[in-house]
Amino acid sequence: MEARLNLVASPLAAKALEYLASASRTIFSESTLPSTTQDLVMLRASQINGCGFCTDMHSKDAAHAGETPVRLALVAAWREAEVFTEAERAALELTEQGTRIADAAGGVPDEVWANAAKQYDEEQLAALVSLIALINAANRFNLIVQQPAGGYRPGQFG
């Protein structure tokens, strides 16, 4: 399978992706949102959106960072799994609601926000909201061009 468009070879797309990556790096390097939570959020949004490339990338990066195979396997079924903290569960719920925003009139329910706000401070919430928006944008880039999955190597993009 070959992508419809080589996003890296297109000067415009490459520049847009670099801005997206730069925003993500800001969250990774300047936020106190735990990196394990960041990995779970990116993986769950990618699963919901059906982005094989991002699911491949974020599951491999999380495993490379030390995430356990059990937790990675249970991200899609986090509600029934006992391996996630209350804070991680709140982040995963916010991720699902923020990713499926078009499915719910009125956006993210107040209860979901309140639960996340109990677990994270304002800067962590800002990082979480930003990360959810950015991973959804990245998913759309890859889904639209049908970026193939499976060949990603941990750390491939620095």
Is 153 contained in some domain? Answer: no
**Digit-coded pLDDT (tens) for 60-77:** 999 999 999 999 999 999
Is 22 contained in some domain? Answer: no
Number of structural domains (the chain) is: 1
Is 132 contained in some domain? Answer: yes
Q: What band does 55 get if pLDDT is binned at 50, 70 and 90?
A: very high
Q: Can you tell me the distance from the alpha carbon of 34 to that of 90, in angstroms, rounded to the nearest whole number?
A: 13
Distances (CA, A) of 53 to 3, 41, 134, 138: 11, 15, 15, 10
Is 136 contained in some domain? Answer: yes
**Digit-coded pLDDT (tens) for 7-35:** 989 999 999 999 999 999 999 999 999 99
**Digit-coded pLDDT (tens) for 123-158:** 999 999 999 999 999 999 999 999 999 999 998 886
Predicted TM-score (pTM) of this structure: 0.95
Is 19 contained in some domain? Answer: no
Write the single-letter amino acid at 11. Answer: P
Is 57 contained in some domain? Answer: yes
**Digit-coded pLDDT (tens) for 41-50:** 999 999 999 9
CATH of residue 96's domain is 1.20.1290.10
Is 17 contained in some domain? Answer: no
Q: Which residues form the domain of 50? A: 35-144
Is 24 contained in some domain? Answer: no
